[in-house]
Copies of this chain bind each other. A is one copy, B any other.
């Protein structure tokens, strides 16, 4: 038997300067008041201290108020329905859940690129090379260029089982810098400005942690936005400063509106420190023009605002649209207007989760910073060092993403074919879904040019709005829940992304294979409108 101090429900004990009560956690305000009363009547100083479990009241309010709709109420209901479906297939109206709530391509049968996976497989088990490279190639287990890449990466990394530097493996950052230089028509990038990250979300978390000074700070975010930004802002207890995208002109940005938001924040003594741009847009699918980017950079220069360019969908561009990186446009402006844009600070994000890679679960990504002072860059490195390093296989995947097989490499033809198949199929499904929406009464959808999502507007009948109110839900959530229960298609209500007051939207990916689900949606929509017709 060990000797222990037993916990008690009420203990009076003597501290150095005060006497305290250790009591059962007070169950109500009255009980608390009573306890305090007793406590002071007994001439005791100090606080009553609960010895019961912590509840929500004991938690950090910033964490409590953070919301992340992409994994919010509707997706949680979908998870419940999924397990119900497995237990009793007859208890639900569909035979599978279609997860259109999150951009998770491989969950929906997008095939990983063979070259990537061959290299990652070799990095995990380099001993396989002891069987002789020529043997492996001859027996078609691995391609020659995959082996060569794995060897180069192992030389840069050492082993994927060791911590790398917190900023990321030097050799991989050099590959990224070369890629950016190539992509931006020769505008030079440097390995020192690259930070490898666990997807783009950890870059957002670093940047907002560093640049947000709680209530002093405001961060301009587009509405609709990807809810990672509002969630991270809530965690940092800073202000979201929404600027609305104009749905009628294909979700374009208005520089006049952005500047107005900046000035209104200043009037409220909030410093607009950061401006978030998502290009191609999530959830809108819009791709920004050079002119739109230039206007945003002008505002950034004028007010000394750091721009976060979330460019994770830069490969997901179709229907003739063209992606222009914020960095390239900035360098052009700096050349055209000497001295005028030198103060601009930019952090551009990319990720292995999207594009033709779609390797969400591998948590690879990078951030390129432009115009930041060395001391600020050191702060980023220090913050990254507290979580040691980004996963090393994810770092390697970044190398593969930015430096795919080239003409003449053994993997080239297969790789090209795989890429084209993925892009064509995404563009086709985007078009099909867009067309279906616009053929239906009560739904309007802008033409998508990029990313993986559509964000249609729901013109809901008054009766549906009233029914939603009766159900205690917002009208968009009511539509999404009805859609889920009728068809198994899981989407996210527009409220999670932000929308003009009085309008209702939803976000859906167009990643799900086949077209059957689109037909089911169409049928659901028609019957929903019939039911709630005014």
Contacts and interface: CB of A to CB of B under 8 A. Distances in A.
Given A2-B290, A391-B361, A127 B106 contact: no
A291 to B, nearest CB: 5
Nearest to A293: B2
Interface stretch (A29-37, A338-346, A432-440): A338-346
A393 to B, nearest CB: 6
B198 A391 contact: yes
Interface in A178-216: 198-199, 201-202, 205, 209-214
A353 to B, nearest CB: 8
Contact of A304 (B52, B336, B387): B52
A137 interface: no
A5 B299 contact: yes
Interface string A117-139: 11011101101100100000001
B127 A117 contact: yes
Contacts of A273: 54, 58
Nearest to A61: B213
A252 interface: no
A43 interface: no
A360 B161 contact: yes
A120 B393 CA distance: 11
Given A46-B266, A213-B61, A273-B58, A106 B162 contact: yes
Interface string A97-108: 000001011110
Contact of A375 (B56, B267, B393): B56
A237 to B, nearest CB: 9
A71 B362 CA distance: 25
Given A22-B302, A124-B121, A125-B120, A52 B264 contact: no
A359 interface: yes
B387 A16 contact: no
A304 B383 CA distance: 31
Contacts of A61: 213
A471 interface: no
Contacts of A205: 387
A54 B302 contact: no
Contacts of A54: 211, 273, 304, 306, 345, 373, 376
Contact of A358 (B161, B164, B231): B161
A254 interface: no
A263 B17 CA distance: 10
A199 B388 contact: yes
A279 interface: no
A158 interface: yes
A376 B63 CA distance: 11
B5 A386 contact: no
Contact of A263 (B16, B124, B128, B353): B16
Contacts of A340: 6-7
Interface string A335-371: 0110011010100000001000011111100000001
18 contacts: A3-B291, A4-B297, A5-B302, A6-B340, A15-B264, A51-B304, A53-B372, A56-B375, A58-B213, A60-B212, A63-B383, A66-B383, A121-B125, A124-B124, A161-B362, A163-B360, A201-B387, A363-B363
Given A131-B141, A162-B360, 15 more contacts: A2-B291, A4-B298, A4-B337, A5-B295, A7-B301, A7-B343, A15-B267, A18-B267, A53-B372, A58-B211, A68-B386, A105-B162, A117-B124, A128-B141, A361-B391
